[in-house]
Structure 1
């Protein structure tokens, strides 16, 4: 799936990254982390209808199967690359087998044992065919947490093509620019966010911090006071920012 998303990573290289000797296999979290380290969006995708829609859109899906028994599990990762509903079979890339045909009934039974766990690995400029806003934004946030800030910026911008003016996505872009030390770009993003979401304190708070770090104390104070006046669940954070600016301002 990483190869499909444009990264020339061999199975051997990926195995070295995600193989867990104690479990004699790869954990789902390790696969997700590996994708993020390579600057790719790891999007959880579950359910037969959902993964078939993704495959139809050209997105192969990594799935986890138990090929053994409930009391003697044999966990195995495969990649769903095709299916034939009339003939009732699924096409998998499994291990060294590039095209494994599995009856739909067997596939469903073995996949159900992992609670229908599936994983899409996408470039930051791609959306899942069946994209859900919160799941996609969470996946992009995973890139940001992995310090893949440039890729995360692209991911958040992709989210905005589907969900324009989304606060989480715009804030994410600003936060990533800030993390990269691009204060002017971050300032521009947060100013635009204030314009689009005038009743939200977070963009004002972040703008205040950036202005303060640039030595523009009076502007920073004004933004911080506005954030505090708006209140909300993060009012304590806004108050702390204001206190720090007041303490540091000449």
Structure 2
């Protein structure tokens, strides 16, 4: 496999922007009450709500770590707190995939119903004097319209729907769950999962993240970017024939996925099937209006193919889609 001729799922995340004003907050959800009683609690020391909140979600997911072990990695003394990026990065370093979830009450209750505590950011102050805070949502009581959190020095902090939503809204509704590879958030979308898995793969490696790609393909069969990610991860894990199957599914779902055609052609070359590789790559070579970087990679793969004689493949080569 030649790194220069392969393409990967690589998406850029958007930076968090604070809200200067907040319109009407969403109404309280009508979902059933739920509380995750067994979520651990790490009371925070001054300014260190980030390590405490992250230790809470990581421990619940099966990582044996406490807030003191996370302080050096995520606490920034100059800012007297932690940035979201540091929390997400620390999750990956400890073998968990962080997923950003939608900023609405329904996403929170969906995750809670699935057994996933949610790490949230709040602004407990005012716009002119913000007081940034991380907490973990562990429950919702529909009758009282109250949210339950592991927060600060309180193991079971209760907040009215209005009070919690205002503080969350002032932090741009930032929320995330941290899950083992192979588990997906209940409220996830294909786009958010693709982003999370691609980010995790760069740190954790494709073989480790592979169960996540496969779980996503199972939930959303035929979704092109997920099939592309799963195919690439299968190949990186050394599963060439499983990768071939995923690439075939990708091209059936989206024949114009030219990055997928390039990577599948490269895989077929590695399998000793240059004729099938030519068949797969031909539509990509003929395509017009592609990004220059993609055109260059396709040209490199075509150049590699030119080194092989034009003759039929072995009988055991995949019958590649055209």
Query: How far off is 1:4 after superposition?
Result: 1.7
Q: 1:57 aligns with which of 114, 138, 153?
A: 114
More moved, 52-61 vs 193-202: 193-202
Q: Select the structure that is richer in helix.
A: 1
Query: How far off is 1:219 after superposition?
Result: 4.5
Q: Does residue 1:8 correspond to 2:64, yes or no?
A: yes
SS of alignment partner, residue 25 of structure 1: coil
> In the TM superposition, what are the counterparts of 1:121-200 in structure 2 within 5 Å?
121-200=178-257
2:265 matched to which residue of 1?
Answer: 208
1:114 matched to which residue of 2?
Answer: 171
Q: 1:239 aligns with which of 279, 282, 299?
A: 299
Q: 1:152·1:173 contact (CA, 8 Å) conserved in 2?
A: no
SS of alignment partner, residue 146 of structure 1: helix
2:46 matched to which residue of 1?
Answer: none
CA RMSD of aligned residues (A): 2.5
For 2:167 and 2:258, how far apart are their aligned partners in 1? Answer: 48
For 2:249 and 2:301, how far apart are their aligned partners in 1? Answer: 20
For 1:49 and 1:223, how far apart are their aligned partners in 2? Answer: 43
More moved, 141-150 vs 206-215: 206-215
Query: How far off is 1:37 after superposition?
Result: 2.2
Q: 1:54·1:61 contact (CA, 8 Å) conserved in 2?
A: yes
For 1:229 and 1:156, how far apart are their aligned partners in 2? Answer: 30
Q: 1:20 aligns with which of 53, 66, 76?
A: 76
SS of alignment partner, residue 90 of structure 1: strand
SS of alignment partner, residue 32 of structure 1: helix
Pairs aligned (count): 249
SS of alignment partner, residue 59 of structure 2: coil
- Is the alpha carbon distance of 1:147 and 1:128 closer, same or farther for their aligned partners in structure 2, counting shifts above 3 Å? closer
Query: How far off is 1:121 after superposition?
Result: 1.3
Deviations 1:23-81 (A, max 9, x none): 11111111111222233221212122321232233211111112223222221110000
For 2:173 and 2:245, how far apart are their aligned partners in 1? Answer: 42
For 1:20 and 1:177, how far apart are their aligned partners in 2? Answer: 37
- Is the alpha carbon distance of 1:180 and 1:53 closer, same or farther for their aligned partners in structure 2, counting shifts above 3 Å? closer
Structure 1 residue ranges without an equivalent (≥5): none
Query: How far off is 1:183 after superposition?
Result: 4.1
1:100 matched to which residue of 2?
Answer: 157
Query: How far off is 1:114 after superposition?
Result: 0.2
- Is the alpha carbon distance of 1:94 and 1:201 closer, same or farther for their aligned partners in structure 2, counting shifts above 3 Å? same
More moved, 123-132 vs 181-190: 181-190
Q: 2:97·2:179 contact (CA, 8 Å) conserved in 1?
A: yes
For 1:76 and 1:209, how far apart are their aligned partners in 2? Answer: 48
For 2:277 and 2:204, how far apart are their aligned partners in 1? Answer: 27
For 1:154 and 1:82, how far apart are their aligned partners in 2? Answer: 28
Q: Pick 1 or 2: higher relative contact order, CA cutoff 8 A, min separation 6.
A: 2
Structure 2 residue ranges without an equivalent (≥5): 1-56, 310-322
